[in-house]
Structure 1
Amino acid sequence: MTAETRKPFTFTGWHMLAIMLAFFGTIITVNFTMAYFATSTWSGLVVKNTYVASQEFNGKTAAIKEMLATGIAGDLSVDTKGMRYRLTLPNNVPVVADSVLAHFKRPVGEHQDFELVLTPAGDGLYLAETAVLPGSWIVEIKATKGGKMIMHEAKRVTVSGE
């Protein structure tokens, strides 16, 4: 009878290479996935105090829902020469506001942020002729009438460099 002797396992350089590739491949894949999601999704807003902003969120959301229940709507158009904003009620009824203010914010950072006071052009249309740099902007618009906020919305726009 011949007894078959089993060869003991020997850890070789190829085994170590496979472990290293699996380990670092996982880390690199996760990093690239997270970097992709970070650059392709909404970046949020920059606020001075995140705790205070989180505490005010529900109240602001309820006020905006109440305001939008009136049916008021804003139509925003922005290019490198300025902006147009039209306020209407249902059935295309124009809304006359005492003041309309637009705050342009970059999605990240605040060194290029600026505000525009829009001038009424009649029929619910408000204009501002100011150069706007190309790129992504979050435009926060506030319209007031009789000291009361009648419209407050934020829209994300991209201005092309034409």
Structure 2
Amino acid sequence: MNQRGKTSGEFTGRHMLVIMLAFFGVIIAVNLTMASFANSSWSGLVVKNSYVASQEFNEKAAAGRAQAALGWSATMAFAKGEFIYSLVDKDGKPVRIDGAVAQFRRPITDVEDQSVALMKTGSGRAAAPISLRDGAWIVEVDADAGMATPYRDVRRVTIRDGVLQ
């Protein structure tokens, strides 16, 4: 009688099972890892209509380059419940602000979103009282500086202990 025993070089169903489990295990582990990274790094930025946003991108980029060419610089301050915005030209002289609108948005949710009209308080300055809680905010200021379009300034800021950091 010919008796067949297991030899070390024989490929069995168990070998195939281990290979398949290892293969799909690696794929599942990579997918879970990538999903975890994506979830933890999501900025919260949501565009209502991505097609429209993509069509407006070049226009907004051109307007941003034209604004940057002015060489103006702006400062934002928030303390004691008052937001102050100031604007100076490339020579350091205050730029006249006839009024401005500041929008305050949370990066992830719209529950605490606020908009406030800034009133002219002096040459190159505008301010308004507002109540902001500590944390991350996106501040968007559209200032009427005597140009055809408002001077637009968008920044991500942090409020800590009632003061802009």
- Counterpart in 2 of 1:129? 129
Amino acid at match of 2:41: S
- Kept in 2, the 8 Å contact 1:98–1:145? The answer is yes
State how 1:88-127 maps to structure 2 within 5 Å: 88-127=88-127
CA–CA separation in structure 2 for the residues paired with 1:161 and 1:23: 49
Is structure 2 residue 28 aligned with structure 1 residue 9?
no
Which stretch of structure 1 is more off in the superposition, 121-130 or 78-87?
Answer: 78-87
- Counterpart in 2 of 1:76? 76
CA–CA separation in structure 1 for the residues paired with 2:151 and 2:70: 10
| Distance change (3 Å), C-alpha of 1:149 and 1:119 | same
- SS of the equivalent of 1:32 reads helix
TM-score by length of 2: 0.76
CA–CA separation in structure 2 for the residues paired with 1:11 and 1:90: 76
| Distance change (3 Å), C-alpha of 1:23 and 1:152 | same
Which stretch of structure 1 is more off in the superposition, 28-37 or 86-95?
Answer: 28-37
| Distance change (3 Å), C-alpha of 1:88 and 1:146 | closer
Which stretch of structure 1 is more off in the superposition, 75-84 or 124-133?
Answer: 75-84
> How many equivalent residue pairs?
157
Q: Deviations over 1:11-34 (max 9, x none)?
A: 33x874564355334423433334
Structure 1: stretches of 5+ with no match in the other structure: none
Is structure 2 residue 21 aligned with structure 1 residue 20?
yes
TM-score by length of 1: 0.77
CA–CA separation in structure 2 for the residues paired with 1:160 and 1:18: 53
| Distance change (3 Å), C-alpha of 1:18 and 1:152 | same
- Counterpart in 2 of 1:39? 40
Identity %: 29
- Kept in 2, the 8 Å contact 1:80–1:133? The answer is no
Q: Deviations over 1:28-71 (max 9, x none)?
A: 34333343244336443x33322212111111111121122111
Q: Aligned-residue CA RMSD in angstroms? A: 2.9
- SS of the equivalent of 1:91 reads coil
Amino acid at match of 1:10: T
| Offset at residue 104 of structure 1 (A) | 1.2
- SS of the equivalent of 1:60 reads helix
